[in-house]
Amino acid sequence: MSATSPVRPVLPPDIRARKGQAPLVVLTAYTTPVARLVDPHCDMALVGDSVGMVLHGMPSTLGVTMEMMILHGRAVVRGLSKAMPIIDMPFGSYEESPQQAYRNAARLMAETGAPCVKLEGGAHMAETIAFLTKRGVPVMAHIGLTPQSVNTLGGYKVVGREGEADAVMEDAIAVEAAGAFAVVLEKVPMGLAARITQRLEIPTIGIGAGVACDGQVLVVDDMLGLFTEFRPKFVKRYAELGALADAAIAEYAAEVRARTFPAEEHAFPDVLKGKQS
């Protein structure tokens, strides 16, 4: 499947129709090899703007560009044959106007082959979501903690406790009414996430929002133990690949220094015997 074959086996209406069925499984992916690992097990693979922090060492997602999303989006789409790709709209590519959002969303879809985009924001983005969905751009919304607004939110905090709960519910209702096919709830208290999930007809995909959501998403490098800069409470580590990689690299370094690597079997003889190469 490539940017020239846009019809994929799973499309946003199929995901929307999964409401009330088995939980939707989502992981991020930023490269072809990881997309290939994720593909058989997940319903969707999110090319998140978290790529900036996870793969490029950025301090936040704010520096992620359209070019980065296109490059990683293409790589992920190439690695997926079953799971539906979703591509994040980076900070500054959609907030100014529905027209700006449409231009950039259309470019992301055309140049990567992804059948939809994700953007952050609730009621204040409803007009843009409606503009996009009416023009052939399916939108996954993202409310609660919206990391691109870290500077106005004052940190990566839980959003929706006490006095904030009604506003988060209103955001959820607004993005659904605008035409979003699903909505990510990030760092929303679990009771509120359960009420939103009950209230909406579109699937909710939780990250730090409890088990009642219609699906779950995690950053793949977090759950594999590859991204260790910080560890949010909502991340469960299913593997410690970072520690495994560290041990393997240390062993390689020690063997190179001791001249025990490469061994004879990793080198090429000067004269071929039999069928060796």
Active-site residues: which are they?
186
Cα 247 to Cα 255: distance, rounded to the nearest angstrom: 12
Is residue 184 a contact point for ligand KIV (CB under 6 A)? yes
**Cα(first)–Cα(last) distance of the chain, in Å?**
36
Nearer Cβ to ligand KIV, position 2 or 216?
A: 216
Is residue 168 a contact point for ligand KIV (CB under 6 A)? no
Among residues 80, 130, 217, 226, which is the contact residue for ligand KIV, using CB under 6 A? 217
CA neighbours closer than 13 Å in the CB half-sphere of residue 147: 20
Closest C-alpha to 83, from 15, 13, 130, 140? 15
CB of 263 to ligand KIV, least distance (A): 41
Note whether 186 and 204 are within 8 A (CB): no
Burial level of 251, CB count in 10 A (0-12/13-18/19+)? exposed
CB of 56 to ligand KIV, least distance (A): 13
Q: Which stretch binds ligand KIV (CB under 6 A): 32-40, 41-49, 123-131, 246-254?
A: 41-49
One-letter amino acid of 211 = V
Q: Which stretch binds ligand KIV (CB under 6 A): 46-54, 126-134, 161-169, 246-254?
A: 46-54
Residues numbered 127 to 146 that lie near ligand KIV (CB under 6 A) are 142
Cα 121 to Cα 87: distance, rounded to the nearest angstrom: 15
Nearer Cβ to ligand KIV, position 89 or 132?
A: 89
CB of 142 to ligand KIV, least distance (A): 6
Is residue 28 a contact point for ligand KIV (CB under 6 A)? yes
Q: Which residue has the tokens 């690992």?
A: 37
CB of 28 to ligand KIV, least distance (A): 5
CA neighbours closer than 13 Å in the CB half-sphere of residue 103: 9
